[in-house]
Structure 1
Amino acid sequence: MSRPDTSATLLAGLLLGAGALHFARPAPFDAIVPRNLPGSPRTWTRLSGVAECAVGAAVALPATRSRGALAAAGLFLAVLPANIRMARDWDDRPTPYRAAAWARVPLQAPLIGWALRLSARTGR
C-alpha cells in the first residue's frame, strides 16, 4: 500500500468510526451541539454522523478521494465550535477530562492539514 493509500485508509477509518459513534452513543454528541442551531440536538448528531460516514466513504474510494479529503477538511473545521463548547462545558469535570476536552480544540488544525495534504496528493 502506498503512502497516500495508507493515509487515506487511516483518515477514512477515523471518519467512519466517528460517524458510527454518533449512532451507537449519541448522547455525548447531543450534549455538544451548539445551542444556537435550530432543531433538536439529536437531529444534528444524526446529520453529522451521516456526514462523517459519507465523507469517510468518499476518502476511502480512490475515485472520490481528493474531493472527499477536501470535504473532510471542511468537516473538521465545521466541528470546531462543538469542540470549543465541549471544552467550556467540561470546566467542572475532573482535570483529565478537562484536559482531553481542551486537547481536541487544537487537534483540529493537524486534522485539517492532513486532509488538505491528502487532497493535494491525490488530486485529479
Structure 2
Amino acid sequence: MTRRTISLWILGLLYGAAGFLHLALPGPFVAIVPPWVPAPALVVALTGIAEILGAIGMLQPVSPALRQAAGWGLAAYALCVWPANLQHMLIDLVHPGRGLPLAYHVPRLALQPVLIWWPLWASGVTDWPWRRR
C-alpha cells in the first residue's frame, strides 16, 4: 500500500468520523462557531455533511477526478474552519481550567496548513513536496 493510499484511508476515516460527530453531537461545534457566522447550527450541520461527502469522495475507487474534487473540497473546508479553531482557543483562554490548554491549541492552529495540503496531496492534486521526475 502506498503513502497516498494510506493517507486517503486515514483522511477518509477521520473526516467521516468528524462529519458524523458534527451531525450527531453538534453542541461542542456550535459553541466554537465565531459570532460573525450566521446560523451556527446550520453551518455545523452543513460542515458535517461536507466532511462526510469529502470522505466518500476520497475513498471512492472509481474516479480520480472525483477524488481530486474531494481533495480540493476538504482543503477548502480546512481553510474555512480555521476561524472556528481560533475562536475555540480564544474561548478556552477566557475560561482557563475549563477548556483545552494552549498545548493543544497552538499546535492545532500551526498544523492547519498541513490539514489544507494533506487532502490535496493524498488525492493527487499535487505531488509537492515529493514531485515525480
1:64-75 correspondence to structure 2 within 5 Å: 64-75=66-77
Q: Measure the CA separation in 2 of the matches of 1:121 and 1:74.
A: 13
Kindly tell me: are residues 106 and 81 of structure 1, through their superposed partners in 2, closer, same or farther at Cα, counting changes over 3 Å? same
Match of 1:85 in 2: 87
Match of 2:130 in 1: none
Q: Please say which structure displays the higher CA radius of gyration.
A: 2
CA contact (8 A) 2:92 2:99 kept: no
Runs of 4+ in 1 over 4 A off after TM superposition: none
CA contact (8 A) 1:34 1:82 kept: yes
Q: TM-score, structure 2 length as denominator? A: 0.81
Q: Which one is further off, 95-104 or 83-92?
A: 95-104
Kindly tell me: are residues 74 and 121 of structure 1, through their superposed partners in 2, closer, same or farther at Cα, counting changes over 3 Å? closer
CA contact (8 A) 2:72 2:119 kept: yes
Match of 1:4 in 2: 4
SS at match of 2:42: helix
Between the two proteins, the alignment pairs up a number of residues equal to 122
Match of 1:116 in 2: 120
Match of 2:23 in 1: 23
- RMSD between superposed Cα atoms in Å: 2.1
State the shift of 1:110 in Å.
1.1
State the shift of 1:93 in Å.
2.6
Structure 1 regions of 5+ residues with no counterpart?
none
Q: TM-score, structure 1 length as denominator? A: 0.86
State the identity as a percent.
Answer: 33
- Greater helix fraction, Structure 1 or Structure 2: 1
Match of 1:97 among 91, 95, 100: 100
1:29-40 correspondence to structure 2 within 5 Å: 29-39=29-39
Kindly tell me: are residues 76 and 84 of structure 1, through their superposed partners in 2, closer, same or farther at Cα, counting changes over 3 Å? same
CA contact (8 A) 2:20 2:52 kept: yes
Q: Measure the CA separation in 2 of the matches of 1:121 and 1:48.
A: 22
Give deviations 1:71-120, integer Å, cap 9, x for gaps.
11111111001000110111023298122233321121111121121233
